[in-house]
Amino acid sequence: MSAAPASGPIFATGRVKANGLLCDGMHRLDLELPRPTAFAPGQFAMLNFGGRDRLIFGRPLSILAVEAGAVSFLYRVAGEGTSRLAAVAPGAELAYFGPLGNSLPPRDDGPPRLLLAGGVGLPPLLAWHHRHGREADLALFGARAPQQVPWTLLSERWAVSVDSAGQTPAGRAAFEGTVVALADKLLARRPERDWRLLACGPLPMLRAAARLAAARGWSCLVCVEERMGCGYGVCRGCVVPARAGDWLTACQDGPVLDAATIDWERFGASAPTPGGGS
């Protein structure tokens, strides 16, 4: 199953090194921390503003990378918190609490991996691919349009799908359709019968990935998202319905969960609603 975190979490004040648009609808934040930190792909951090700007709850974002004393994130503006985050200038301070949660297991000699990433679900899989990816694996990224693809982050080993076609950078192509449809197409050309699926992205994509894996008898790990109050297991706010009947927490049991342990019928049954109050 999932691997233990690379190191215990720290609560610290970070300084924004860079914060800007990477492509349409996707921002990148690099945050300098007072001391080095490690992370394992799939882990996340709770970010918050400082002083009087503090939000009642931190906002969970997956960790993309830790390089040169800075921890990096990719995010989309989803509401009040992330829109304020997008306006934060270099030099500003943010509260950092991480790394939290479990992680994607490191590489073993099992079957090749099929990575399905959608939108800002990219960080866990990009980080995993960077550390553990092999030639035999298939890494796929899906977005709505080519302008929403962070081409500079994706090596040639990543295949890209877009809902609607458009101009792509020189030398890069995008399949028109869902990332799951692209997976179907690429798998048809491969001799391997057995794959392990790793998926991270919007809920409909996770559902499709879980169905695909179940239909073919493959194991499937998904990175889930839920509203979080604490990120460290004490509030029981972030529950995901479990097949066994009760709940799994996205922040402690997850965010990486075995798709077979999730009750997909109950998961996300109540439509998401804005966290902001007014």
Partner 1 sequence: MSATPAWFALDVGAPWRLGSRVLPGRIWTASGCFGYGLDGHDIRHEQFGSPYAGLGCVVTKTITPQARAGNPQPRLCELPHGALNSIGLENVGLSSFLADKLPELAVRGVPFLVSLAGTQPDDFGAMAAALAAVAGELPNWHGVELNLSCPNVAKGGVDFGTDPRTVETCCAAARACLPARVVLAKLTPNVARIVPLAEAARRGGADGVTAINSLIGLEVDLRTGRPVLPRRSGGYTGPGVQPVALAKVDEIVRETGMPVVGVGGIAGADDALRFFALGAAAVQVGTAQLRDPFTAAMIARMLAPAGCRP
Ligand X SMILES: Cc1cc2nc3c(=O)[nH]c(=O)nc-3n(C[C@H](O)[C@H](O)[C@H](O)COP(=O)(O)O)c2cc1C
Residues that bind partner 1 (CB under 8 A): 8-12, 34-35, 46, 48, 54-58, 95, 97, 226-230, 232-237, 239, 241, 245-247, 252, 266, 268-278
Single-letter code of the amino acid located at 95? A
Q: Where are the beta strands (DSSP E) in the chain?
A: 10-23, 26-32, 44-49, 59-62, 65-67, 70-75, 93-100, 113-118, 138-143, 158-162, 175-176, 196-200, 219-223, 239-241, 247-249, 256-258
Which residue lies nearer to partner 1 by CB, 171 or 277?
Answer: 277
Other C-beta atoms closer than 10 Å to the C-beta of 25 total: 16
Report what 78 binds from partner 1, ligand X, ligand FAD, none; CB cut-off 5-8 Å by kind. Answer: ligand FAD
Half-sphere exposure of 121 (CA within 13 A, CB side): 26
Residue with smallest beta-carbon separation from ligand FAD: 79
Which residue lies nearer to ligand X by CB, 12 or 235?
Answer: 235
Which residue lies nearer to ligand FES by CB, 127 or 238?
Answer: 238
Report what 82 binds from partner 1, ligand FAD, ligand FES, none; CB cut-off 5-8 Å by kind. Answer: ligand FAD
> Which of positions 192-231 make contact with ligand X (CB under 6 A)?
229
| SS3 assignment, position 219 | strand
Please report, for residues 10, 95, 111, 257, the alpha-carbon distance to residue 2 in angstroms, rounded to integers and kept in the order given: 21, 27, 16, 8
Preceding omega of 124 cis (within 30 degrees of 0):
no
Which residue lies nearer to ligand FES by CB, 20 or 233?
Answer: 233
Q: Phi and psi at residue 260, in whole multiples of 5°?
A: -75, -15
Report what 255 binds from ligand FAD, ligand X, partner 1, none; CB cut-off 5-8 Å by kind. Answer: ligand FAD
* DSSP category for residue 177: S
Q: How many of the chain's residues bind ligand FES (CB under 6 A)?
A: 13
Compute the distance between CA of residue 208 and CA of residue 150 in angstroms, rounded to an integer: 23
> Which of positions 225-264 make contact with ligand FES (CB under 6 A)?
228-231, 233-238, 249-251
Report what 230 binds from ligand FES, ligand X, ligand FAD, none; CB cut-off 5-8 Å by kind. Answer: ligand FES
With binding defined as CB under 6 A, does residue 235 bind ligand X?
yes
Helical pair 203-216 and 179-188, crossing angle rounded to 10 deg? 30
Q: Shortest approach of ligand FES to residue 17 CB, angstroms?
A: 27
Q: Which residues form the interface with ligand X (CB under 6 A)?
A: 229, 235
